[in-house]
Structure 1
Amino acid sequence: MKNQIALNNVSHYFETPHGRISLFDDLSLNISGQSSLAITGPSGVGKSSLLSLAAGLEPPRDGEISFTCEGQQISIVELRQKSGFIFQQFHLLEELDALGNIALPLRLKGNRKANEIARNWLDKIGLSDRANHKPNQLSGGEQQRVAIARAFVTDPVFIFADEPTGNLDAQTSTGVSDLMFDFAKQTGSALVIVTHSEELAQRAEKCFALSDTGLEQIK
């Protein structure tokens, strides 16, 4: 597989003063490049933790995770460099305007055309006229569109989205979802979504349900 994240017999748990809290045991999942995959399920079963493991943001307690890009094994650090992230809370920097937030990942990579590329993405998300607006001057839907552009601006191999429509109304959610899936198709990025929304989950090519009994493919 050219681009892939493979979770093999992964278990994850937390130690607390009152004992161990186990989220899931011996879970296996393959995430292929240039495809979309959704993980749904009730609160508390470990959906966000599973996404964090797949994205290389934290190691599993047990089991193995391997990352492949262009047919070669890569490290967790390399995976993060090739990934984009979208969160429920947007996580935009309040001191930067919309243009600055989108350009930031490019600037951190030393790209001298960061502003030019960011302006192009502002046009793609229909916010060219909001380039100089700070996050607190934008609606929730506009902030999430900026966050989506920021995630895609570096042409990532993988996009990880944790409840990307969780703070949005139904109409705004549809528009944000359209952008994510359209950009993933255009750029060839793999899109991995954790969501409570059955409607959003069903838009993905593959859909898995996480529960106390494990992970089940439902689409």
Structure 2
Amino acid sequence: MNTEIALERVSHFFDTTNGRISLFNDLSLTFNGGQTHAIVGPSGVGKSSLLSLSAGLESPRKGTISFKLEGRELTITQLRKHSGFVFQQFHLLPELDALSNVALPLKLSGDQNAYEIAKDWLEKVSLGDRAGHRPAQLSGGEQQRVAIARAFATQPAFVFADEPTGNLDAATSSMITDLMFEFAHESKAALIVVTHSNALAVRAHNCFALSPSGIEEAK
């Protein structure tokens, strides 16, 4: 899939009562489609903010960010229609069962086959027998697998994941990583992951290390 997110001389900061907190300055970076990208670095350097900017969820204080799909410039609204999200805290709706959580973005996009597609994706993450269970009835690893199924079910061009294995044990983390990278490879989506996990980061095509002094490509 021919996709691209390009950040040009982006700076981001927050103003507080105690002064300005600067996260990064004049950062230029490109995420290409069909590849996996890991963003690593110590806490507090702005990894999650960089992910939010790249996903169009925030606007940079300075600089520009462009989003392209098949050579066509995307608006923020169009970008979100082509994006999937995986969060550390899962963000599943507690009142919905697993099937309905996966089906929700498909239903919102008007897909008449939302539940059939959602059922298929639950089978892919080995949770077909848990389709009728609500999040509170699922383990952390099971909830994260539902979140991954939801993110990829719409066949997005971009998938953004913020510490997707942060709360999971080593074995479950490995399984979650395998699923995300397998689905990204199959769909040719651009997968962009913020992580503290070296085991996850080394799997990515590109690894970008963010620090107070800037960003560099780690591999």
TM-score with structure 1 setting the length: 0.99
2:2–2:34 CA contact under 8 A, matched in 1: no
**Equivalent-residue separation in structure 2 for 1:65 and 1:135 (angstroms):** 35
For 2:48, the equivalent position in structure 1 comes to 48
TM superposition shift of 1:10: 0.2
TM superposition shift of 1:197: 0.8
Amino acid paired to 2:163: E
TM superposition shift of 1:112: 1.1
Does residue 1:151 correspond to 2:151, yes or no? yes
Gap regions ≥5 residues in structure 2: none
Q: Deviations over 1:10-49 (max 9, x none)?
A: 0000000111100000001000011000000000000000
In the TM superposition, structure 1's runs of 4+ consecutive aligned residues that sit over 2 Å from their partners are none
Amino acid paired to 1:161: A
For 1:142, the equivalent position in structure 2 comes to 142
For 1:110, the equivalent position in structure 2 comes to 110
For 2:181, the equivalent position in structure 1 comes to 181
Once superposed, what is the RMSD of the aligned Cα atoms? 0.8
**Equivalent-residue separation in structure 2 for 1:18 and 1:120 (angstroms):** 51
TM superposition shift of 1:2: 3.0
Gap regions ≥5 residues in structure 1: none
Corresponding residue SS for 1:92: coil
Alignment of 1:115-130 (within 5 A): 115-130=115-130
TM superposition shift of 1:140: 0.3
TM superposition shift of 1:198: 1.1
Amino acid paired to 1:30: T
TM superposition shift of 1:156: 0.2
For 2:33, the equivalent position in structure 1 comes to 33
For 2:65, the equivalent position in structure 1 comes to 65
Percent identity for Structure 1 against Structure 2:
64
Amino acid paired to 2:28: S
For 2:78, the equivalent position in structure 1 comes to 78
Amino acid paired to 2:34: Q
Does residue 1:87 correspond to 2:99, yes or no? no
Q: For this pair of structures, how many residues does the alignment match?
A: 219
